Amino acid sequence: MRKIKIFNRINGMLLVMFSVLACSGQNSSTTESESVKIVVSKEEVREDLTYLSSDELMGRKTGTEGIEDAAKFIEEKFKEFGVKPYFETYRDNFMVNDVQGFNILGVVEGSDPELKNEYIIIGAHYDHIGTAKEVEGDTIANGANDNAAGTVGVIHLAKHFSKNSDNKRSIIFALFSGEEMGLRGSKHLAEKLKADGLDLYVMFNLEMIGVPMKAKDYQAYLTGFEKSNLAEKFNTYSEGDKVLGFLPQAQQMSLFQRSDNYPFFQEFNVPSQTVSTFDFSNYPYYHHVDDESQFLDPDFMASLIEDLIPGLSKMANTAEKEIKMKD
């Protein structure tokens, strides 16, 4: 009897130990998974992309009701995420001749008493051209890839950093209008922030990220690749994943000067570059009425946004400014 009691007692103790260890293992695994695995909702990316490139917004031309609706949509997203306005409101107004334009700016403040005074701008233009050459009765240039895709990227990066606000540096999330009128919104904002004495570390711009590249060993290319060590550092920060690479056509077509990164480079002379996946062979609908969400790949977009987060997180947290212009 005594042996049986002792045996049962030992069995009971072992069961308790295994239960504790199992629970501990589950909690540890969950915690580790939560800290490592970043998930961007494919469904939300698809929904946001579909709305921003819908006929309802009429091509989001600067100065129209369509872009007003797009701006309200972005503002509501920022409010939902708890992203605060950078200025008194989310809007940064400017004029292009007699046309009223406005950028949308939110900010997630850094946690470090000193580094929070250094800023990263993550941006994209949310305007498009309104209409284009008619095809089968359709004249609305929906601008799904150009640049509802980049806009969605900024929205979801804002969501992530607002919910995981361990960034030591402050991050401005900027959506520009007037890009299709000659980078007018970003030029206005760059000049304004420079005059305000903003300490800008990096301007990280998203443009046409709606479809994967063809036959490349990296996920997106960086315009002005040779001008800074941004791609090199970013890939290192991404723990060996080759996220950003060099596309010769981007250099040949002077794409560095043709998106909203450029005014910030001109004003601040800091790494200000654009990330894109449009490689001139993978999407035929540039400034075309068929630039619609049905031809994009929201699953790829969600995956790319996920893969940008580790590099941006590290960028926001290094003790020193490691990303620099090259001589």
Which pLDDT score, from 0 to 100, does residue 137 have?
A: 98
**CATH number for 128:** 3.40.630.10
Which pLDDT score, from 0 to 100, does residue 35 have?
A: 47
pLDDT, tens only, 53-66 = 999 999 999 999 99
Does position 82 have pLDDT exceeding 60, yes or no?
A: yes
How many Cβ atoms from other residues are within 10 Å of residue 313's Cβ? 17
Instruction: Kindly calculate the radius of gyration of the chain based on its CA atoms and give it in whole angstroms.
Output: 23
Residue 33 within any structural domain of the chain: no
Residue 14 within any structural domain of the chain: no
Q: Between 228 and 25, where is the model more confident?
A: 228
Residue 102 within any structural domain of the chain: yes
**Residue 120 and residue 24 in contact, taking contact as beta carbons nearer than 8 Å:** no
Residue 10 within any structural domain of the chain: no
Label the pairing between strands 138-141 and 170-176: unpaired
Average pLDDT score, the chain: 91
Cα gap 160→166, rounded to integer Å: 11
Which pLDDT score, from 0 to 100, does residue 204 have?
A: 99
3-class secondary structure, 275: strand
Side chain identity at residue 74, one-letter code: I
Q: Between 258 and 37, where is the model more confident?
A: 258
Structural domains in the chain (count): 1
Does position 31 have pLDDT exceeding 90, yes or no?
A: no
How many Cβ atoms from other residues are within 10 Å of residue 129's Cβ? 17
**Residue 168 and residue 112 in contact, taking contact as beta carbons nearer than 8 Å:** yes
Residue 321 within any structural domain of the chain: no
For residue 208, which of 270, 268, 165, 153 has the smallest C-alpha distance? 153
Cα gap 159→21, rounded to integer Å: 35
Which pLDDT score, from 0 to 100, does residue 15 have?
A: 40
Can you tell me the mean pLDDT for 284-303? Answer: 98
Host domain of residue 166: 40-315
Which pLDDT score, from 0 to 100, does residue 327 have?
A: 85
Does position 313 have pLDDT exceeding 50, yes or no?
A: yes
Does position 32 have pLDDT exceeding 90, yes or no?
A: no
Residue 27 within any structural domain of the chain: no
Which pLDDT score, from 0 to 100, does residue 251 have?
A: 95
Can you tell me the mean pLDDT for 173-182? Answer: 98
**Residue 281 and residue 245 in contact, taking contact as beta carbons nearer than 8 Å:** no
Cα gap 264→43, rounded to integer Å: 33
Which pLDDT score, from 0 to 100, does residue 36 have?
A: 55
Does position 27 have pLDDT exceeding 90, yes or no?
A: no
Q: What is the pTM of this model?
A: 0.89
Q: How confident is the model at residue 203 (pLDDT cuts 50, 70, 90)?
A: very high
Side chain identity at residue 42, one-letter code: K
Which pLDDT score, from 0 to 100, does residue 164 have?
A: 84
Does position 44 have pLDDT exceeding 60, yes or no?
A: yes
Which pLDDT score, from 0 to 100, does residue 166 have?
A: 85
Does position 20 have pLDDT exceeding 70, yes or no?
A: no
Residue 236 within any structural domain of the chain: yes
Which of 35-49, 87-101, 216-230, 303-317 shows the lowest mean pLDDT across its residues?
35-49
Can you tell me the mean pLDDT for 106-114? Answer: 97
What DSSP character marks residue 322? -
Residue 152 within any structural domain of the chain: yes
